[in-house]
Amino acid sequence: MEKPQAILFDAYGTLFDVYSVGLLAEQLFPGQGNALGLLWRDKQIEYSRLVTTSNDGAHYRPFWDLTRSALVYAVKKLVAPAGSVDMADFDARIDRLMNQYRSLSAFPENREVLQDLRARGIVTGILSNGDPAMLNLAVRSAGLAELLDHVISVDPVRKYKTAPEAYALGEQATGLRARQIGFVSCNAWDALAATWYGYQTLWVNRYQVPFEELGTQPTYSGSSLRDVHQFF
């Protein structure tokens, strides 16, 4: 298999730690921080699929809006019924967590990996569900802007991954065919769909969980972003 000429990375969960909000969540909602972070993420992804598959994307909303809606749902489900939150400052707590989400912690190996790819003349980029404002702020906060040739949001096609139209944006941005592009994601569902689309894929299994049981495996599997060095 030919070495890819471009490497595209998923953003949330792959370059940026979506669970880094857990500490603040625990401070705001004691005893529920970890569970809140997990449910928030699951509901965020569920909403992205729901608005993409219903009525051919007619109910699309920017990822920032879906993220806030998912957080509100998670808090209402886990915290509000137990009576452990003063609903008078509900919106203030939601706003604090959303502000934290604007600048999620970046995984420490990001810079090393991106610098190596750039030194080898490989095109780099992000292909993400995030809307442009979210992505640009996250990239700048992490100091990665000068190491990325492309920051690609699905927002122009108004459909989230795993829609083929979302993955096609990588080909359009780079001018390359899918088989000439490596796609890296920590999310198994994302790595699977990108494999189906035709990308060379690396699934970064950070949390040591099984891959999806749908008869297809990613091109490569690893446990750290540094495995990009080995496979690409």
Alpha carbon of 174 to those of 89, 121, 170, 177, 231: distances in Å? 46, 14, 6, 9, 20
Closest to 67 measured CA to CA, from 148, 144, 140, 13: 13
What's the confidence (pLDDT) of residue 60?
A: 94
Whole-angstrom distance, CA of residue 57 vs CA of residue 69: 17
Output the six-digit token pair for 12: 């949330």
The one-digit pLDDT tens for each residue of the chain (232 residues) are 789 999 999 999 999 999 898 889 999 888 889 999 999 999 999 999 999 999 888 899 999 999 999 999 999 898 876 555 566 688 889 999 999 998 899 999 999 999 999 999 999 999 999 999 999 999 999 999 999 999 999 999 999 999 999 999 999 999 999 999 999 999 999 999 999 999 999 999 999 999 999 999 999 999 999 999 999 9
The class of domain 19-102 in CATH terms is mainly alpha
The string of DSSP codes covering 174-198 is: HT--GGGEEEEES-HHHHHHHHHHT
Confidence (pTM): 0.93
What's the confidence (pLDDT) of residue 190?
A: 98
Paired with 182 in beta bridges are 7, 200
- For residues 35-63, one letter each, b for 16 or more C-beta atoms within 10 angstroms of the residue's C-beta and e for the rest, the string is bbbebbbebbbebbeebbeeeeeeebebb
User: Which residues lie closer than 8 Å to 16 by C-beta, 6 or more apart?
Assistant: 104, 105, 106, 107, 138, 142
What's the confidence (pLDDT) of residue 82?
A: 55
Closest to 144 measured CA to CA, from 171, 181, 117: 117
Pairing of strands 200-204, 220-222: parallel
Q: Quickly tell me which residue has 């808090």 as its tokens.
A: 75
Ranges for all domains in the chain classified under CATH 1.10.150.240: 19-102
The CATH number, out of the four listed (3.30.70.20, 3.40.50.1000, 3.40.1410.10, 3.40.718.10), of the domain defined by the range 6-16+105-231: 3.40.50.1000
User: Which residues lie closer than 8 Å to 35 by C-beta, 6 or more apart?
Assistant: 78
Closest to 142 measured CA to CA, from 182, 117, 109, 169: 109
Alpha carbon of 139 to those of 53, 127, 128, 152: distances in Å? 29, 12, 12, 12
Closest to 114 measured CA to CA, from 141, 149, 79: 149
Ranges for all domains in the chain classified under CATH 3.40.50.1000: 6-16+105-231
Residue 10: active-site member = yes
Of the residues 10, 131, 190, 227, which is catalytic? 10
